[in-house]
Chains A and B, each alone.
Chain A
Amino acid sequence: MLTWIRTFASRTRTWLSPRGVDQDFANELDSHLDMLTDENIRRGMSLEEARRAARIKLGGVTQLKETNHELRGLPFIETFLQDARYAFRMLRKNPGFTAVAVLTLALGIGANTAIFSVVYAVLLKPLPYANPNELVSAFQANTQEGVPETGTSYPNFEEWRAQNHVFRELATIDFHQLTLTGLGEPAEVNTCVVTPEHFAVLDVKPLYGRVFLPEDGKRGAPPVVIVSENLWRGTLEAAPDILGRSLILDKRPFTVVGIMPAAFRSPFINSKPEVWIPLVQDPLFGSWMARRGGHWLAVFGRLKPGVSIAQAQVEMDAISERLASEFPAENKGWTVRLVPMQKEIVGDVRTALLVLLGAVGLVLLIACANIANLLLTRATSRSKEIAVRTALGAGRSRIIRQLLSETAVLGLLGGVIGVALAYGGVRALSSLLPDNLPQLNAIRVDNFVLIFALVLSAIASVAFGMVPALFASKSDIQSSLRQGSGRSGESGNRRHARNFLAAAEIALAMVLLVAAGLLLRSFSKLTSVSPGFDPRHIVKAEVSLPQFQYSKPQQWTAFSDELLAHLKAQPGLQDSAIGIPVPITNGFINLGFEIVGVPPASQSDSRLANYVSVSPDYFRVMGIPLLSGRLFNQQDIASAPSVTLISKTFAQRYFPNQDPIGKRLSFAFPPNPDNPREIVGIVGDVRDMSLGDAPGPMMYVPFAQAPFWGANLVVKSNLSTSAVTAAIRQEVWKIDKDLPVTDVGKLPDFLDASVSQQRFRTFLLGLFAAMALILAATGIFGVISYSVSCRTNEIGIRVALGASRATILRMILRETLLLTFAGLLVGVPCALIASHLIGHMLFGISVNDPITLAAVAITLTTVATLAGFVPARRAMQVDPMIALRHE
C-alpha cells in the first residue's frame, strides 16, 4: 500500500511538471548510446557502424521515451485530457451542432434538476425533527359515512392519551390568527394552539426560557405564551427582559415563558408560526374543550421506541371500540386511523409531483434520443476519419473512448448550463408553486440536488453517446476509406437506429401531449364550472372579534348589525352581507341534524349537511337563486321563531318527493339545539368545498339567530378592490379601532387560488409537453434532412428518369409519415397507460378521452409533416445534373 502511494505521488508529481523529466530521460538515453558506441568502437567497428549497433542494442529510442513518459506520468488522465481537448476542438468546429446538442441537453437537465429539487424537498427530505419516523398523525375515521380522516374532540383526545401504551406522548395542534395589540398598530400573529406536550412530542428545546408545562394546559392556569425567535427579534426588538413580560393577544395579557428558535416549525402549518399558546387559553377553540362531539382537533404523537405503527393501530382500535360503547352518541361508527406524519404532511401532492418528475424524465429521454440522432448523423459523416484512425492503429476501445470523451464533454457542458437553468427554474417555480405545498421553504438547489444533476448528465451522456460510438467503431475501414464523400454509403443498421430513435421520440411526445391535453381539458372544465354563486365584483374580508371583550352573542349581533348599516350607507358599495363560512374561501362546517318527527331509518343513517350562518341579503349579494318559499328577512331575529333555508340537493336527498317547506330541523349546534328550525325556503346549490367537488346538501340559518364572534363580509361594488378594502377598514375602525381586517381580496381571486395546485401541474405538464413536441419535431426534421442529403443522388436519377416534383415530395413525405405513424402506433397504448396513472387528477372528462387522443395525434402528425416538409422541398428542388455530379 505504502509503495503504491509513493508510486502514485511520484507519478502525479511528474505529471504536473513533465517537461524536465522527459528532457532528463532523453539526456540519459543519449549518454547510454554514447557509451554503447564507445564500446562498439573499442571492438573495432567504424563510427557509423558502432552507432547503428548501439541503437539496435538499446532498442527504439522513441518507444523507450514513450514508455518512460507513460510510466512516470498519469497516462489515463493524459489521454482523457487529450481526448477532451480534441473534443473541444471538434465541437468548436461545428458550432451549430454543438449549440443544438448542448442546449437540448441543458434544457432536459435543467428541467429535471428543478423538478427534482422540489421532489427532494417535499418528498425525500426527512421531516426536520429528531427521529422523524417515530412521528405519527392520529385521525378519526367513519367508513360508513365515507369520512376517511378528520379530527377528534378534546375529551376523546384525553382518553387516547390516558389509555394508550404505545405512544411516548400525544399532542394536538390547531392554527389560526390572534390580534396582537399594545405594540404599535394592531397586528395579526400566526398562532399555534397546542397542548403542552406539543414540544415534547417533537423533541425540541426552546432557545430561551421553557416550553409549556402540563400545568399550563389545565383549566384556570394563568395564560402563557411562547414566541418565535423572529417575532422576538422583530416586533419585540430582541428585548433581553422578554421572559416574564406580557403580550396582549386578543385583548388579554399572556406571560412570555419561552422563545423557540427561528428554524422551528410546527408540523402541518405552512405559515411561519409566531406564537404558541396552550389550547385551554385559546379564545376560539378553548370553549370547545368540554364537548365530546365534533371533529376539530388535529392529533399527532411520537411512538415509543420499537413500537411499530401497526402495533399502535391495534391498541388504538381497542381504545376507539371502548369509546364507541361508552359514548355511543358521539363515537358510534368512529375509528382511529394512524398515518406516518411524513405521509400525512406530503398528502396527495406526492402523486402530482411524481407525475411531473416522470414527465420531465420523458423530456430528458427525448432530448437524449435527439442528441443520439445528431451524433449518429455526424458519426456517419465522420466514418472516414474514424477509418483513418483505425488504419493508423487505434484499437476499437481507444476509438470508443475518444468518441465517449466527446459526448462526455457535451454532457458536461449541458450539465453545467442545465444547472444554471435549474437555479433560474427553481426561482421561477417558487413563485409559481401553490402556497399550500408542504415544505415550500425547503426547496432549493442544494448539494444533493447538484449531485443528482451531475449523475443525470453522466448517465445521459453515456446513454446518447454509447450507441453512436459503438456503431462508429464497428465501421468497415476498407469501404469507408474507399468512399469519396464518406456519407452516401450509410449502413442500414445505422439508418434503422436513427429511424427508431425518431419514432421513439414521437411516441414519448405523444405520452406527454396526451397527459398535458387531459389536464388542460380538465382544468378548463374545472374553471368554467359554475360555483352556484356569482363571484364577480365581490370583495371578501374577515373581521374577528376578540372573545374576551366581545363575549356575548348579543354583542356579536350588535357589532355586525352596526357594521352592515355603516357599509350600506357608503355610496360606492352596492350591497353588503355576512356569510360564515364563505364558500370555497373559508372551508366548510359539516354538522349533523335531525328531522323533527322523522327518526333516522337506522342508527348508522346519519344526517349531515354543511352549515352556513348568513345575513338576510347574503343570497342577493352572492347571486344564489331562491327556488321556492322565501329568503331570510329583517324579522328573523333571535326572539322570532327559528328558521332555516336548505339547498336543492338537501331537499332532494332528505325530502325526496315531498315539499320540505314547513318541515322542522333540529341542529346539534348552539345557541339553542333544542329549538327546532322551520324550513322556509329552498335555494340553489353551491360548490362550497371546492370547485372540483359536486355540491353537497347545505343549510342556512340567519346570523341574527346563530351569530359568530366575527364576520366574513361579502361586499359587492364596482369600485377597485383597494377602494373597497379601504372603505371596509374605515367602517370597522369607526366601531373599534383595535380590530384587524384580514383575508381581504376579490372573490374571483380566492376561487383562482383554490385551484392553484391544479393550475401549477397543468402549466408544468403543458410546458414539458411543448418541449417534447419541439424536440420530437427537430428529431424528425434531422432524420428526414439527413435522409434527403444521403439520397440526393438517387433523387437526381429519379428526376432524370422523369419523376415529377410532386412524386419526389410525396416520396419524402411518405417517409416522414411512416416514421410518425410508427411512433403514434406505439405512443397510443403508452399514452393510455399514462392517462390511467393520472386518472384521479382529471375532472369532468374520461381517462380515455377520444377528443384529446385525436387532437394529439393530429397535432403530432401536422407538426411532423411540417418538419418533414422543409427537407422535402429541398429534395423537390434537386437539379438532376448537379445531383449526378455530386459524387
Chain B
Amino acid sequence: MSADKSDILQGTLDLMVLKTLDAMGPLHGYGIARRIEQISEEALQINQGTIYASLVRLLQKRWISGAWGVSDNNRKAKFYSITKAGRKQLNAEAENWQRISAVIGRVLRLADHG
C-alpha cells in the first residue's frame, strides 16, 4: 500500500509533478517522467511507473485534471494539466519548500563551521 513510503518522498514527487505541469503545460505520464529525469540531469533515475501513484493522489485532490488526447507522434495518451487549485497549492508548497531547504542549508552550514 501507499503508506509504505515516507510522506516527504511522496510529497517531493508530487511537488515535482505539479511544477513540471505548471512549467510545461499539459503532458502525459511518459512526458512527465521523462521531463523530471531530464531536469534532474538523469540524477533521479526512477521507475517511471511510480509517478502514476503521484498522479492519482494529485487527481484525487483535484490539483490536476486528466483527459485523453493524441501525442506528438500520433499516439493516444492521457494528458494531465494543472488546475487553479493545483497552482495555488504549488505556490504555497514551493514557498514552504524553499523555506525549509534554506533552514536546512543554514543548519548544515552551521554544523560545518562548528
Contacts and interface: CB of A to CB of B under 8 A. Distances in A.
Nearest to A21: B56
Contacts of B91: none
Nearest to A35: B30
A734 B19 CA distance: 107
A10 interface: yes
B50 to A, nearest CB: 7
Interface string B11-54: 00000000000000000111000100000000000011110110
A197 B104 CA distance: 79
B71 A70 contact: no
B87 interface: no
Interface in A51-75: 57-61, 63-64, 67-68, 70-72, 75
A448 interface: no
B57 A36 contact: no
B53 to A, nearest CB: 6
A385 interface: no
Contact of A36 (B30, B56, B78): B30
Contact of B77 (A35, A60, A68): A35
A31 B75 contact: yes
A15 to B, nearest CB: 12
Given A57-B47, A67-B2, A71-B57, A32 B62 contact: no
Interface in B52-86: 52-53, 56-57, 59-62, 71, 73, 75-78
Contacts of A24: 78
B24 to A, nearest CB: 16
Residue among A32, A70, A72 facing the most chain B CB atoms (10 A cut-off): A32
Nearest to B78: A28
Contacts of A31: 28, 30, 71, 75-78
A25 B52 contact: yes
- DSSP class of A's interface residues: helix, strand, loop or mixed? helix
B1 interface: yes
Q: How large is the interface on A (under 10, 10 to 19, 20 to 34, 35 or more residues)?
A: 20 to 34
A34 interface: yes
A68 B75 contact: no
Contacts of A39: 34
Interface string A1-42: 001001100110000000000001101110110111011000
Contact of A64 (B49, B57, B59, B61): B49
A71 B53 contact: yes
A10 B53 contact: no
A77 to B, nearest CB: 14
B61 A58 contact: no
A36 B30 CA distance: 7
B56 A72 contact: yes
B71 A35 contact: yes
A32 B30 contact: yes
A60 B50 CA distance: 10
B75 to A, nearest CB: 6
A57 B48 contact: yes
Contacts, number: 75
Contacts of A68: 52-53, 56
Contacts of B1: 67, 70, 75
Contacts of A64: 49, 52
A58 B47 contact: yes
Nearest to A75: B1
B29 to A, nearest CB: 5
B18 to A, nearest CB: 13
Nearest to B71: A35
A766 B73 CA distance: 85
B contact face: mostly helix, strand, loop, or mixed: mixed
Contact of B60 (A6, A32, A35, A58): A6
Given A35-B75, A35-B77, A59 B61 contact: no
B47 A32 contact: no
Contacts of A59: 47-50
Contacts of A25: 52
A10 B66 CA distance: 14
Contact of A11 (B60, B62, B75, B76): B60
A63 B28 CA distance: 20
A135 B43 CA distance: 80
A737 to B, nearest CB: 86
A193 to B, nearest CB: 72
Contacts of A70: 1-2
Given A6-B60, A28-B29, A72-B56, A58 B2 contact: no
B62 A6 contact: yes
A58 B73 CA distance: 20
Contacts of A6: 60-62
Contacts of B49: 29, 58-61, 63-64
Nearest to A57: B48
Contacts of A67: 1-2, 52-53
B73 A10 contact: no
Contacts of B77: 28, 31-32, 35
A27 B67 CA distance: 13
Contact of A7 (B29, B48, B60, B73): B60
Contact of A10 (B48, B59, B71, B75): B59
Residue from A28, A72, A75 with most neighbouring chain B CB atoms (10 Å) = A28
A36 B48 contact: yes
A32 B28 contact: yes
Contacts of B75: 31, 34-35, 38
Contacts of A61: 49
B73 A38 contact: yes
A33 to B, nearest CB: 9
A501 B30 CA distance: 61
A855 B34 CA distance: 86
B59 A32 contact: no
B56 A32 contact: no
A10 B30 CA distance: 24
B10 to A, nearest CB: 11
Given A68-B53, A72-B56, A75-B1, A32 B73 contact: no
Contacts of B78: 24, 27-28, 31
B61 A3 contact: yes
Nearest to B59: A10
A71 B51 CA distance: 13
A34 B30 CA distance: 10
Nearest to A67: B53
B5 to A, nearest CB: 11
Nearest to A34: B75
A67 to B, nearest CB: 6
Contacts of A63: 49
With a 10 A CB-CB cut-off, give which of B2, B29, B30, B71 has the most chain A CB atoms.
B30
Nearest to B63: A3
Interface of B: 1-2, 28-30, 34, 47-50, 52-53, 56-57, 59-62, 71, 73, 75-78
22 contacts: A25-B52, A27-B76, A27-B78, A29-B52, A31-B71, A32-B28, A32-B29, A32-B30, A32-B48, A35-B30, A36-B48, A39-B34, A57-B48, A58-B48, A59-B49, A67-B53, A68-B53, A71-B2, A71-B57, A72-B56, A72-B60, A75-B1
Given A31-B78, A72-B60, 15 more contacts: A6-B61, A10-B60, A28-B29, A38-B73, A57-B47, A57-B48, A58-B48, A58-B49, A59-B48, A63-B49, A67-B2, A70-B1, A71-B57, A71-B60, A75-B1
Closest 10 CB pairs of A and B: A59-B49, A59-B47, A35-B30, A10-B60, A7-B60, A64-B49, A3-B61, A71-B56, A31-B77, A32-B30
